[in-house]
Structure formats: C-alpha cells, structure tokens
C-alpha cells in the first residue's frame, strides 16, 4: 500500500472506532437511565468502549505517528457526525409530523 492509502485507511478505521465509541455511549445512556443500576452500566460501558478504542488505535497506528494522527482525526470526525445524527434524530422526534 502507498503511504497516502495507509493514511486514508487509518482515518477510516478511526471513524469506525469513533462511531463504535459514541454510538455505544448513546446506547449506554439510554439503557443506563432506565436501569435500576445505572452506575454499573456506565462503568462497564466505559471500560469496554475505552478498551476497544485503545486496542484499535494501537493496531491501526503500528508505531507510526502519521497513522496515529489520521486515526485520531477520523475518531474526532466520527464524534461530530454521530452528534449531528443524534441531534437530528431528536429534533425529528419532537417536531410535529415527525417520527415518534
């Protein structure tokens, strides 16, 4: 693979990791608030999500700072996209005529 293609692949992997992390957070919030033991949900979710992201970033970066930077940039972009999607979903749910 060329260096540019590796950086693009690293950024895409970062986006996947970010999507998993933030979708997992959103799912945890919804489950945790309805649970009689929310602290257990939040703690277990944090450990699992952080473990997946740390291992994923280490595997993707493989000691190269450029790949690490591309992966982190993809992770941050995923955070922006997931936040936007969740906000749009919430707005559609509360507007008249929107899905319920």
Q: With respect to residue 3, please indicate whether it lies within any of the assigned structural domains.
A: no
Contacts of 78 (CB under 8 A, 6+ apart): 14, 15, 16, 17, 18, 19, 21, 22
pTM more than 0.75: yes
Tens of pLDDT, residues 1-24: 698 999 999 999 999 999 999 999
User: 67 lies in which domain range?
Assistant: 9-94
Structural domain count, the chain: 1
Q: With respect to residue 4, please indicate whether it lies within any of the assigned structural domains.
A: no
Q: With respect to residue 86, please indicate whether it lies within any of the assigned structural domains.
A: yes
Tens of pLDDT, residues 52-90: 999 999 999 999 999 999 999 999 999 999 889 888 888
Cβ atoms of residues 31 and 43 within 8 Å: no
Q: With respect to residue 88, please indicate whether it lies within any of the assigned structural domains.
A: yes
**Both tokens assigned to 36:** 């009689």
Q: With respect to residue 2, please indicate whether it lies within any of the assigned structural domains.
A: no
**Both tokens assigned to 29:** 């919030």
Q: With respect to residue 100, please indicate whether it lies within any of the assigned structural domains.
A: no
């Amino acid at each position: 693979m060329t260096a540019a293609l590796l950086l693009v692949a690293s950024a895409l992997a970062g986006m996947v990791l970010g999507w998993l992390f933030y979708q997992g957070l959103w799912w945890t919030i919804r489950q945790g608030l309805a649970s009689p033991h929310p602290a257990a949900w939040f703690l277990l979710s944090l450990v699992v999500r952080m473990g997946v992201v740390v291992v994923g970033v280490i595997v993707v970066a493989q000691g190269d700072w450029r790949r690490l930077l591309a992966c982190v940039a993809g992770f941050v972009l995923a955070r922006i996209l997931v936040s936007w999607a969740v906000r749009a979903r919430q707005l559609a749910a509360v507007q008249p005529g929107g899905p319920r």
